[in-house]
Amino acid sequence: MIIETRNCRAAWAHMTAISDRQPVRNFVQVLDMSDYLVETDLFPEAALIAYSDLNMEKDISDEQRQYISELRGGAQGNYSEGMARKIANVIDCLTSYPQSKRAVVTMCNQPAPDHRNDADAKCLRELQLYLDDEGRLSGTAFFRAQAAQIFPKNIHFIGSIMTEVAGRLPQKPALGTLFYLATILVSDRA
């Protein structure tokens, strides 16, 4: 299967257009992660940074807290629990074993998430990172579901993790591509 690589803004526009007609099952795309900033009315850059910082277990300011809301993802979009440890594990893995297939960040901390609980029903399930054939940090992301409306926040979070990992690896790799799979793509969270 050959899939065209898109920049993140073009990917978001494509997702928005095709999901507006009907939900899309088993949606895949390949993203160029060299620029993962996709600003929208719902997600100005300050909101994207606030969510990424929150989800990476960084301290956020009172000013940043104003952007955290149900409309922007609520409990379902909070991936912060244990994230600093998970990122450190990926960094250690790729530092010790650069060709490893075990550099994985799992997003759900529950062994059997309760489908009735939004906090358990995270959309982003797993992110696997690896050093590609060109020495860049690339990855694969698996989503249970993706609302195109929320994509800017999710891709910024993934890009922020990739940037953090790349900056802490001895070889300081550039960001490469992300193979992106969502079992269902919808236009919005409604």
In the structure encoding, which two tokens stand for residue 164, read together?
A: 């953090």
Q: What is the DSSP letter of 185?
A: E
Strand pairing category for 175-186 and 24-32? antiparallel
Report phi then psi at 93, rounded to 5.
Answer: -60, -50
Which pLDDT tens digits describe the chain residue by residue (190 residues)?
A: 678 999 999 999 999 999 998 999 999 999 999 999 999 999 999 999 999 999 999 999 999 999 999 888 877 788 999 999 999 999 999 999 999 999 999 987 666 666 676 666 778 999 999 999 999 999 999 999 999 999 999 999 999 999 999 999 999 999 999 999 999 999 987 6
Q: Which domains does the chain have, with CATH numbers?
A: 5-30+43-59+73-182 (3.30.572.10)
Any residues with CB less than 8 A from the CB of 29 and at least 6 apart, and which?
A: 3, 6, 11, 14, 15, 180
Tell me if the pTM is above 0.85. yes
